[in-house]
Chain A
Amino acid sequence: MSLTGIRYTKGFLLDLRRRLEFIKDAHELLEMKRDQLIIKLREGLEKLKELRRKVEGEAEEVYRELSLLHSTLGSADLETYSAYLRGNMDVKIVPRGVIGVVTPMVREVNIPDYTNLYPPQIIPLAEKISALMKDLVKLAELEAYIENLAEDLRRTNIRVNALEKVVIPSYEWTIKRIQDILDDEMLEEIIRLKLIKETLTRRRIT
């Protein structure tokens, strides 16, 4: 990255130094954010691994129960049992912020009630499916959380790298260059002054 509108003045140099200081603070903050995101992401991934294992186990159990019921009751009975379901599944989602990352949070999961409605043959399967649905919603929430964290981590990483590898070196280089030019100019000025002084002294003698 090259800086435009560079003025080789003391004032501009001071301004650049101030700006670099600010950028370094921002870089430090972003690094801290990145570390926090990594920690949160790791925790989330651990939870996801655990929850996914649980959901897979539950799904397997539901499928097993379903195939056993299907085998014993036949297709027709099994198909008609679904008629007793009243109402739809309802999920309430609100946004929440984690280290500045907005992710969806499930506030409420309402599974239609089957008590006093279902024939006994189907209740255990309904119970298992209800539990699975609740955990599937939790899994979706956690996946969205991790996805958003990962996306923010990617963006933060790009910013940290950009600051570290491009912006800060470019500022430092520009500051150095201005400093060098200012130093040269100062030296030139001193030499010029010396020459003038010598000339003046020589004139006075003659």
Chain B
Amino acid sequence: MITYLICKCHVYESRLLPRRLILELASASKLEDFIEMLSATAYGDGLLEAKSIWDVEAALTEKFINRLSTLLRVSPENIREFLIQYYRRFEIQNLIRIMRMKLIHEHAESIKRLIIPSEMLGGMDLDPFIGAKNFNEFINLLAGTRYKAISKMDIENPLILESMFRWIYYQGVFDKVSKIPRADRPDVMKILGIELDLHNIRVCILPILYDYDRKLAENLLIDNPAGKSKGLLMELRSIEELLESFPRYRVFIEALMRREEWRAEIEYFRILKDEVDGKRISKYINFFYVLKYILDCEVEYRNLRSIAISLYHNLPVNIRRSLLILPRT
């Protein structure tokens, strides 16, 4: 029953770390203190065994993926189908990482530590891809998957291949939107539309800021059925035009203009978080809450990872706090 899933999400939502604790964690003086404070929460003692920043990241990723996989277990069949496709964002993230490492002939063992356990989220088995002898074999292996379109392409620039992965992913997600209740679809579409708009803005800025070939940028754009069309985006030739077309994303565009990609990355999630937090849904039972919970899990995961890494780099407290994805309210 979808109602059961949504109710579960409301319950799980209350188990996420409160804002106050996130800020306290960000104020920790060293990584060991952060681990100690965090292990007293739902993250448990597993973190205490972490010996390096990689171990901390792996423990946080494991918790994050566990949370997401729990939703699959309590979902009805149709919603499960949608969620599995929605979770494929982690699968394409893995495939892109494997592809990059295959380009530099990295061996399987070092690729494995970069992989998010996306099989737990209904994703395909990535071991054959990790074990591929080279980049060409990796591309050939895609022939037997939903990403077969990529294996047929003769493209040298890996940026286009990355974009193709994303394009296939979003196409699949928009297809599976039909699996969720009709009344809840517009809210889900809106979130997906924002994600794609922000991705496309980033691509549109490439020729303006970094002298990237306009043709290449056009190839990197992804069709957005729930946002600004590709045709319209291709006409935008300056920052002013981008700001005019996307006034809601001013902060994000300004961060890109200042070449602060790290800030743009944070703004990307802040915009999504503001969108889901600001939404007032009349019904308590709405699929939107499932997406909200998934986003909140990702935000918490990213916040904790960011705190751990910034502590590892000895960044000052004010900078550590500014890296957090917290709602603007």
B159 touches A123 (CB 8 A): no
Q: Mark B214-256, 1 if CB is under 8 A from A, else 0.
A: 0010000000000000000000000000000000000000001
Residue from A69, A73, A83, A118 whose CB has the most chain B CB atoms within 10 Å: A83
Report the separation of the CA atoms of residues A73 and B57 in the bound assembly, to the nearest whole angstrom. Answer: 11
CB of B215 to closest CB in A, whole Å: 10
Q: A112 at interface (Cβ–Cβ under 8 A)?
A: no
CB of A72 to closest CB in B, whole Å: 4
A70 touches B202 (CB 8 A): no
Given contacts A80-B101, A115-B210, contact A122 B261 (CB under 8 A): yes
B313 touches A82 (CB 8 A): no
One of B34-42, B277-285, B287-295, B303-311 at the interface: B303-311
A120 touches B157 (CB 8 A): no
Q: Mark B149-190, 1 if CB is under 8 A from A, else 0.
A: 000000001110010000000000000000000000000000
B262 touches A117 (CB 8 A): no
B315 touches A120 (CB 8 A): no
A76 touches B97 (CB 8 A): yes
A84 touches B100 (CB 8 A): yes
A70 touches B157 (CB 8 A): no
A71 touches B261 (CB 8 A): no
Given contacts A69-B262, A71-B323, contact A80 B313 (CB under 8 A): no
B309 touches A71 (CB 8 A): yes
**How many residues on chain A are close to B (CB under 8 Å)?**
30
Q: B259 at interface (Cβ–Cβ under 8 A)?
A: yes
Q: B12 at interface (Cβ–Cβ under 8 A)?
A: no
B310 touches A67 (CB 8 A): yes
Q: B109 at interface (Cβ–Cβ under 8 A)?
A: no
Q: A206 at interface (Cβ–Cβ under 8 A)?
A: no
> CB-nearest residue of chain B relative to A66?
B313
A84 touches B261 (CB 8 A): no
CB of A65 to closest CB in B, whole Å: 7
B323 touches A84 (CB 8 A): no
Q: Which residues of B contact A74 (CB under 8 A)?
A: 57, 305, 309
Residue from A120, A123, A127 whose CB has the most chain B CB atoms within 10 Å: A120
Q: Which residues of A contact B202 (CB under 8 A)?
A: 120
CB of B224 to closest CB in A, whole Å: 17
B261 touches A83 (CB 8 A): no
Q: A201 at interface (Cβ–Cβ under 8 A)?
A: no
Q: Which residues of A contact B315 (CB under 8 A)?
A: 67-68, 71
Q: A124 at interface (Cβ–Cβ under 8 A)?
A: yes
Q: A119 at interface (Cβ–Cβ under 8 A)?
A: yes
Q: B211 at interface (Cβ–Cβ under 8 A)?
A: yes
Q: B4 at interface (Cβ–Cβ under 8 A)?
A: no
Quick one: which of B211, B212, B309 contacts A75, CB cutoff 8 A? Answer: B309
Report the separation of the CA atoms of residues A73 and B310 in the bound assembly, to the nearest whole angstrom. Answer: 11
Q: Which residues of B contact A22 (CB under 8 A)?
A: none
Chain A residues in contact with chain B, CB under 8 A?
65, 67-77, 79-84, 115-125, 127
What are 27 inter-chain pairs, A to B, with CB distance below 8 A?
A65-B262, A67-B309, A68-B262, A68-B323, A70-B313, A71-B306, A71-B309, A71-B313, A71-B315, A72-B262, A72-B265, A73-B262, A74-B57, A74-B305, A80-B96, A83-B101, A83-B158, A84-B100, A84-B159, A115-B210, A116-B216, A119-B159, A120-B210, A120-B261, A121-B261, A121-B265, A125-B261
List 3 A-B pairs, minimum CB-CB distance, nearest first: A67-B313, A83-B100, A80-B100
